[in-house]
Amino acid sequence: MKIPSHIPPVISPRVVRAIADELNRRSLLYYHKNLGFPVLHGGQPPVMAPYIEAICYVLQELAEGRIKRLIITVPPRHGKSEITAASFGSWMFGQDPSLKIMLASYGIELSGPQVANAKAIIASDRFRRIFPRTRIKRGMNRADVFGTTAGGEFRAVSQGGAATGFGADILIVDDLSKADEALTFAGREKAITFYRNSLPSRFDNPADGRVIVIQQRLHEEDLVGFLLDVGGFYHLNLPAMAEFDEVIPLSGGREWYRRKGDLLDPIRFPQSYLDHQRLLMGNRFYAAQYQQDPIASDGSLIKWAWFGQYSRVKNRSYYLKIVQSWDPAITERIHSDYSVGQTWGYRDGKWYLLDLIRAKLEYPRLRERVLEWHRQWRADALLIEGVSIGLSLAQDMRREMLPGKIVSETPRGSKQDRLASRSAQLETGDYLLPEAAPWLADFRRELLAFPDGRHDDQVDAMVQFLEFVYDRPSWVRATYGPDGRRTDPIIRSSLRRRSY
């Protein structure tokens, strides 16, 4: 008998369950929603938000080897420990029951319960059906460690305890500092020293070892700040309120278009709650813990609101003048300064910051980058700070017979005084930044932290540029149209009314 086409096919419950089981095996996101979280919460699924999908996506990328070192920064009480330790940890044992995972936190009272949560998920009937090869080893009844019959192990450690003597394939670092301890230099150094000396050396196979660091930001020089300085980490940054438009990848080739002002979890953490937390904590602590920005946005010398915005970089012919400003350094050591280069373009009375390089380079590579960038942008002026290695760099650039000006001058006065003298110049609103750029967040953080931040190389390069265009109005004026009419407000005569 032929079944009429308008009658949908019936899928048996057995087939539906088999499909769901396979999705649990393949997708961490599906697993967290339908197995990990419900086991720990009486069968209730989580209230989903895009940030949960984003976290699951980068964790799966790490599980599949496309990411080796991962940092996730997210506000408190957003479920980061359950997702990363309990759900991800138990799911990874389903993939490979012989894995060894180490979870490090500031205290065993934080890491221990998440190890117990992972154990509870693995012991559930549904997990046992989906992952039949993974079984808890009997005889390990401690709250901070359990093993599998395949030789795997999930162990919690803390700053005060010992991590030596135990190996790991995956290292999860979840809040290595308490909030109050991270406010002191000694507390921050204790966490960083524990990480450097005790954790990465635990890998059984260093070439394949994977690291996840997940926490709320607490200070510019906390563990995340240190690791971002070292480099080599993929960073998923999730402020409670988006500060600029961004596109965040999700699983299945999807993307999360997060707009400026969008809340991370508007159901559980609405605007009214965040406003209350800001009043309760103060701007500085709120900016660190909720916005993942350890420097409050009302910087003492520079206001972010002074900068205008532009949507996209045009091609070179659009800009009447291009100025490149370099603050060079010559070492690749972890705690050394960065070499910073900035490219500014001029058009219709406005200066646009078009691109920025910030890297730790030995001199041959630094020289090569300066030449490459100058040729790429066909710069009209190349500014190099005239101290230390900058003097040699400027001489090398002159030997190359580069077109345009090459200016190398020794800075006069303190960094703070030089920037303060340029504040009225910035307040004109004639200096524009891109709406989005890979380097924008670091640039903002350094400017607003000055003079108390760890680095000031980007500030130095910008001030050098500002001094150059202010002190050479005739050179700037030469960029005007063929009729010679003056339309540019960023020259000295337009600022005579302002006080420096």
Per-domain residue ranges of the chain: 48-291, 304-483
Q: Output phi, psi for 418, to 5 deg.
A: -65, -40
Contact yes or no for 436/245 (Cβ under 8 A): yes
Q: For residue 459, give the amino acid letter.
A: V
Task: Please state which of the four CATH numbers 3.40.50.1820, 3.30.950.10, 3.40.640.10, 3.40.50.300 is assigned to the domain occupying 48-291.
Answer: 3.40.50.300
Contact yes or no for 199/166 (Cβ under 8 A): no
What pLDDT sits at residue 97?
A: 96
Task: Please state which of the four CATH numbers 3.40.50.300, 3.30.930.10, 3.40.350.10, 3.30.420.240 is assigned to the domain occupying 304-483.
Answer: 3.30.420.240
Written in H, E and C, the secondary structure of the chain is CCCCCCCCCCCCHHHHHHHHHHHHHHCHHHHHHHHHHHHHCCCCCCCCCHHHHHHHHHHHHHHCCCCCEEEEECCCCCCHHHHHHHHHHHHHHHHCCCCEEEEEECCHHHHHHHHHHHHHHHCCHHHHHHCCCCCECCCCCCCCEEEECCCCEEEEEECCCCCCCCCECEEEEECCCCCCHHHCHHHHHHHHHHHHHHCHHHECCCCCCEEEEEECCCCCCCHHHHHHHHCCCEEEECCCECCCCEEEECHHHCEEEECCCCECCCCCCCHHHHHHHHHHHCHHHHHHHCCCCCCCCCCCCCCHHHCEEECCCCCHHHCCEEEEEEECCCCCCCCCCCEEEEEEEEECCEEEEEEEEEECCCHHHHHHHHHHHHHHHCCCEEEECCCCHHHHHHHHHHHCCCCCEEECCCCCCCHHHHHHCCHHHHHCCCEEEECCCCCHHHHHHHHHHCCCCCCCHHHHHHHHHHHHHHHCHHHHHCCCCCCCCCCCCCCHHHHCCCCC
Cα angle value 75/77/80 (rounded, 5°): 75
Task: Give pLDDT tens digits along the chain (500 positions).
Answer: 455 566 566 778 888 888 888 998 999 999 999 999 999 998 898 889 999 999 999 999 999 999 999 999 999 999 999 999 999 999 999 999 999 999 999 888 888 899 999 999 999 999 999 999 999 998 776 888 999 999 999 999 988 766 566 789 999 999 898 888 888 888 888 999 999 888 887 887 888 899 999 999 988 889 999 999 888 999 999 999 998 899 999 999 999 999 999 999 999 999 999 999 988 888 878 989 999 988 754 556 788 889 999 999 999 999 999 999 999 987 655 556 789 999 999 998 899 999 999 998 889 999 999 999 999 999 999 999 988 888 989 888 888 888 888 888 888 888 888 888 888 888 888 999 999 898 998 898 888 878 777 788 999 999 999 999 988 777 776 654 444 444 444 444 444 433 33
Q: Residue 342 has which token pair?
A: 């900035």
What is the pTM assigned to this prediction? Answer: 0.69
Judged on CB neighbours under 10 Å (0-12, 13-18, 19+), 135 is: middle
What pLDDT sits at residue 162?
A: 62
CA dist 321 and 323 (Å) reads 7
Which residue do the tokens 């504040």 mark? 423
What pLDDT sits at residue 332?
A: 53
CA dist 127 and 436 (Å) reads 43
What pLDDT sits at residue 6?
A: 62
Query: Residue-wise over 425-434: b if at least 16 C-beta within 10 A, else e?
Result: bbebebbbbb
What pLDDT sits at residue 109?
A: 84
